[in-house]
Structure 1
Amino acid sequence: MKCVNHLLLAGMVAVAANAQANDLDKVIDSSSAINQSALQSQSKINSIADDMQSRLQKFRTLNKEIDGLVVYNSQLDKQIKNQLEEMAAINASMDQVSVIERQITPLMMRMITGLEQFVALDVPFLKNERADRIAKLQAMMDRADVSSSEKFRRVLEAYQVEVEYGRTIEAYSTLLSVDGQEREVDMLRIGRLELLYVTKDGSKAGSWNKESKSFTALPDTNISQINKGIRIARKQLAPDMLTLPIQAAE
């Protein structure tokens, strides 16, 4: 009887051990499944975190670009405003230019007429050259292919040439009526102060008389000084003192 009891007890212990082993296996399997699920969840979390970090970096980059565009657009607004102001100023200037251009043409015509009158009343040197210059200015005013600015420049240039005559010395050859006979002479212009001549053969000399508006003869004693002045004007002699008859300034 005791032997049977021992067998029963051993069987029960074995059954209990098997049951515990089965339960432990289940616990281990369950733990492994939980660990696997946790690993998968952590992987998903890491992936989401990486994606969020990437999105955050893109967001920051976009914000910087937006800030830059705001500054750029603000600068463009200022430039556009300035350009509109400049356009308005240019339009106003164009209107003024049209008015000025209408006024400048009559002014140039008066300047040319004044220059023509001045040359006619001036000492008669280089008459053909100066008359030709004025004739070209008058012809130019009728030309449509020359701008108003270019016309004005040439008129001023002609005035500048006339101004230069008053402070230079010049010698040139021309034909002149001497004692009723046309002869070739050398002319000496000293600014606008004096205009003298000497014949090519050196036999006669004279000067322009502003009162009589004609040339008057000079004593032969002046011929050598006039010839000296002519050579100085032609840069054949160094500048030197001249003894010449000079009319008193009015």
Structure 2
Amino acid sequence: MKKQRMKAVALSTVISAGALLAGAAQADQTLNSILSVGQSKVDAARASQVRINKLQDQTSDLIVQFKQENKQIEGLRVYNKQMEKQLEAQRAALAELDDAIANVTVIQREVPPLIIRMLDAMEQFVELDAPYKKELRLERIAKQRANLDSAKITVAEKFRQVVELYNIEAEYARKVDSYPDSVTIEGQELDGTILAIGRVSLMFQTADRSVTAAWDRGLNKWVTLSADEYAGTVYNGIRMAQKKASNGILALPVHAPEAAQ
């Protein structure tokens, strides 16, 4: 009886050990399955994080690009406003040009008579003025009159030349000048030097300073001056005009201003 019990206990122990081994193997399989699922989730999470990081980088790039595009758009808006102002100014300029072109025929018709009147007035002025470089001034006027008939010179250029003559005449009023010339004093022709102090005074003196004279606008002729009083002064004025002496004060005969008629 004891031997049968011992066999039964041994058999029961073997069965229990087999069941335990079988349960352990099953547990290992279950654990491996759990670990495998966990690793898959970790891998999936890692892949998701990579995608998220990539999307964040792409988003950052898009934001930077968006800001750059906004700056360019703002710059283009400012540029367009400036261009619009320029276009408006050009439209106004074109309108003015259209008006000028429409009136060009009238201008071309009216300018030549104006030029003639200007030359007539200048010639009359030179004839009535003191004889300062009179022949040269009249030659300029005659040359300009000849240019009026030239088809090679535009109306604008003819007008510019006349204005230039007026500028030359105006410059004489601000010049101190001297040059050699011959004058007639009391029926006698004398060689000497002319001294012009703007349009204030015009004087003459021979080389030996024996004769000193001034142009009298009222008498319209040369009048002899006192050698003792003016010979030295006029001589010094001539040297100043020729840059042979430093500028200084000159006591010269000057006509008193007259009331306009």
**TM-score scaled by structure 2?**
0.73
Matched, 1:51 2:54: yes
Tell me what 1:233 maps to: 238
RMSD over equivalenced CA pairs, Å: 3.7
Name the aligned partner's letter for residue 71 of structure 2: G
Whole-angstrom CA distance in 1 between matches of 2:5 and 2:246: 168
Which of 217, 220, 224 is the aligned partner of 1:218?
A: 224
Matched, 1:15 2:18: yes
Distance 1:12 1:243, change over 3 A: closer
Residue 2 of structure 1: how far off its partner (Å): 1.4
Tell me what 2:95 maps to: 92
Q: Contact 1:198/1:223 (CA < 8 Å) preserved in 2?
A: no
Which of 13, 22, 27 is the aligned partner of 1:24?
A: 27
Name the aligned partner's letter for residue 80 of structure 1: M
Which of structure 1's runs of 4+ aligned residues deviate more than 6 A? none
Tell me what 1:65 maps to: 68
Whole-angstrom CA distance in 2 between matches of 1:11 and 1:240: 151
Q: Contact 1:173/1:186 (CA < 8 Å) preserved in 2?
A: yes
Whole-angstrom CA distance in 1 between matches of 2:8 and 2:215: 174
Tell me what 1:82 maps to: 85
Residue 183 of structure 1: how far off its partner (Å): 3.6
Name the aligned partner's letter for residue 89 of structure 1: A
Q: Contact 1:197/1:226 (CA < 8 Å) preserved in 2?
A: no
Q: For residues 62-211 of structure 1, what are the structure 2 equivalents within 5 Å?
A: 62-95=65-98, 99=103, 102=107, 105-106=111-112, 107-108=114-115, 110-135=117-142, 137-138=144-145, 148=156, 152=160, 155-166=162-173, 168-178=175-185, 182-200=189-207, 202=209, 204=211, 206-211=213-218
Q: Contact 1:189/1:195 (CA < 8 Å) preserved in 2?
A: yes
Deviations 1:121-178 (A, max 9, x none): 21111113323443555567758678948963x6555434433434554432212345
Report % sequence identity. 25
Name the aligned partner's letter for residue 66 of structure 1: E
Q: Provide structure 2 residue ranges, at least 5 long, that are not aligned to the other structure.
A: none
Tell me what 1:5 maps to: 8
Whole-angstrom CA distance in 2 between matches of 1:10 and 1:149: 136
Q: Contact 2:203/2:215 (CA < 8 Å) preserved in 1?
A: yes
Query: Matched residue of 2:193: which SS?
Result: strand
Distance 1:249 1:15, change over 3 A: closer
**TM-score scaled by structure 1?**
0.75
